[in-house]
Each structure stands twice: as structure tokens, then as C-alpha cells.
Amino acid sequence: MRLMFLDLKRQYASIKSEIGPVIKRVVQNQYFVLGEELLRFEEEFADYLNSNYVVGVGSGTDGLILSLKTLGIGRGDEIIMQANGFIAGAIAAAELGATPVFVDADKDTYQIDVNQVGQKMSKKTRAILPVHLYGASCEIERLAQLAKSHKVFLIEDACQSHGTMYKGKRVGTFGDMGVFSFYPSKNLGAYGDGGALCTNSRKLYESLQRLRNYGQSKKYYHEVFGRNSRLDEIQAAILRVKLTYLDAWNEKRQEKAGIYKTLLKKVKFQTIIKDSISNYHLFIIEVRNRDKLKTYLEENGIETLIHYPVPIHLQKCFRYLNHKPGDFPVSEKLSQSILSLPMYSELRDEEIYYISDKINKFHE
């Protein structure tokens, strides 16, 4: 057996008959940027999230940058975020001249350790930027309370958590803004780069619309320095089709995760916090001998990945912050011991049996 970590061709085969016509529709209209498809998608995604507004942008990373920029965050400001996970939030802060202030991860949920956030608050803190990591919800309600009591902004990096719920509410809608990525491998993925922000604030919505479009609200009248970062019409049209399947696809992933969890022995799973439903963007196991297991699985035709092998505070680009190994022990330990197994809606049950069997054999 040869098992890819993610085989997007299977998903495409299931929606091919709907995708072709919508791409054709955009091409026939010859209207490619800031048109009807984007408007419709923004309405439909806002509806799905139960948020007042959605603004489509060029990528998740752009969404994070614009979220900080629209709040006027920049040089001299601090943003609290976790040391484990994907680097985009830290890059966004750095790009605007702000300082990422790291907090360690919780050893069971792998999410930002809320108990450490308060100690990191300073006069310079302007925002907390948690990630809902691997598609599971972080302790978003407690973070919202902390943000409120310290009068700082809360921006949710929901780039991995399309459809994830906490207490019956979609994540991304708890903070001042939520940021989503439509990178092809995400649970809601475009056929290229794409991203979006959601917010309930009309003021932030209008500001984000200007910032993604050269800082103009009227053509060629520029009130602020904006950039060019828009979700294009072809991507929006594709996402409109895929959004109608998102819940069903997420449910499939939840089923697959359930199968893995019943079959796998002697591995630790990510703890999903109470009252939340993960979209299982990634399925993570924590093991000793991670590198050996990875090689063993490769030899058996199973592709796995590591999300992520280097914690953010130890990345070369953040050398200037002078962090050293040992600063965030949980994040560092996780980077050595976690492994992401194949997980997507079209993954077959037999394939999960095969993968689980090999992992159990490795541990015998």
C-alpha cells in the first residue's frame, strides 16, 4: 500500500461536476477581482460562521497582517501568542514591527496555556493572538475574558479550524476578528492561495475592505496605506461550492478520528477541550521514538508529517528575540514527539486499519 498524507484528487473527483461550471462562469464573465462571486462567498461564509461580516483576502497570513494593521498595531507593541504551532502569527507581528511575546503550550491540549497569558501582559501588550491548533478549539472563552479584563484585543488564528465549535458557536467569532486560510490543504481549501477575516464590527469591516484594496474606499482616493490582497473570483466561486460540503466533510473527519482513537494503542492523543468539537484538520499522535516511527511508517508506504519540527521561538528568523532552548519546554518537547497521521474526509477505513495496525506493531 502507498498512502499519501493527503490525497486531494479524491475530493476533486467527488465535486468535479460542480467545479468545472463555476470556473467556466467566472472565465466567461471575464471579471476576476472584487466581483459578485466574492460578495456572495463573503455573505455565505458569514452566514455559516454566524458572524456579521467576512472580508476575503489573499491568504491567511495576509489576513493576520491586516487584522493587526487595522487595529493600528505596530512598532513598540507586544502581541501574546504561543511558541508552538505555525509561524504565521509571529511573522505578521514582526512584519508590522511589533514584538511577538511567546507563551508555552498546554501539554495535553497543545493549545496556548491560558494560565501563562496573564503573567506576560505588560503596558505594551495590545493583543492576544491564539491559534485553534490542529482544528481543535483553544480555551477561547477564558482568553476572551482575559482580553476584556486587560483591555487588549483578541484575534483568533482560525486558519486550521473552519467549522470548529466551542459551546455551540463557531471558533473565529469569539474575538474582535477571526482569521481563516483557504490554502488548498485546509478543511475548506481553494485551488490556490486565499484567506478571510470575520468580525462583528462594522468599523473593522470597512477598514479591512480599504486595507485589502490599496487603502481606498473610492477608486483612486487613498485614505490610508493599504496593500493589494484580495480573494479572487475563481477562488471565491470554488469556495462557494466547497462551503456547502464543509460540515459533511468535517463529520467524516470526526468519524475517522474516532476509528484511529479506538484502534491505536500506546500513543497519546491531543486532548479536545470540554464543550468543543474539533474539525480534525490534523490528527496528531504523541509518541516516544517519533523519528524511528516516522521512518518505519515510510518503509511501510505511509506518509506522515510533523507539525511542527521547530518551535517558533527557536526559528532562525526570530534569533533577534534571544530565546534559547529550555525557554518553552512543552513546545520544545512536542516538536520532538508529535506526528501527524493521514487525515482527510476521503481516507478509507481500511487505510486507517492498515496505518493503525502498523503503528501498533511498531510498539510491540
Question: What are the residues binding ligand PLP (CB under 6 A)?
Answer: 59-61, 85-86, 88, 131, 157, 159-160, 181, 183, 193, 195
Q: Which residue, 160 or 335, has its beta carbon nearer to ligand PLP? A: 160
Q: Give the angle subtended at the CA of 97 by the CAs of 183 and 76, to the nearest 5°.
A: 135
Q: Which residue, 159 or 352, has its beta carbon nearer to ligand PLP? A: 159
Measuring CA to CA, how many Å separate 352 from each of 264, 285, 343?
Answer: 10, 14, 9
Minimum distance of ligand PLP from residue 307's CB (angstroms): 8
Instruction: Tell which residue, 350, 337, 276, has the closest CA to residue 309.
Output: 337
Respond yes or no on whether the N-terminal peptide bond of residue 205 is cis (omega within 30° of 0): no
Instruction: Tell which residue, 143, 98, 97, has the closest CA to residue 125.
Output: 98
Q: Which residue, 300 or 315, has its beta carbon nearer to ligand PLP? A: 315
Q: Which residue, 63 or 264, has its beta carbon nearer to ligand PLP? A: 63
* DSSP, res 165: E
Minimum distance of ligand PLP from residue 171's CB (angstroms): 12
- The set of residues, in sequence order, having a beta carbon less than 8 Å from that of 91 and lying 6+ positions away, is 61, 64, 317
Q: Give the angle subtended at the CA of 118 by the CAs of 115 and 120, to the nearest 5°.
A: 110
Minimum distance of ligand PLP from residue 295's CB (angstroms): 25
Q: Which residue, 1 or 33, has its beta carbon nearer to ligand PLP? A: 33
Q: Which residue, 117 or 312, has its beta carbon nearer to ligand PLP? A: 312
Minimum distance of ligand PLP from residue 340's CB (angstroms): 12
Minimum distance of ligand PLP from residue 213's CB (angstroms): 18
Instruction: Tell which residue, 277, 315, 240, has the closest CA to residue 163.
Output: 277
Minimum distance of ligand PLP from residue 60's CB (angstroms): 2
CB-nearest residue to ligand PLP: 60
- The set of residues, in sequence order, having a beta carbon less than 8 Å from that of 230 and lying 6+ positions away, is 33, 34, 38, 56, 57, 58, 212, 213
Q: Residue 244's Cα: distance from chain center in Å? A: 19
Minimum distance of ligand PLP from residue 112's CB (angstroms): 12
Q: Which residue, 222 or 227, has its beta carbon nearer to ligand PLP? A: 227
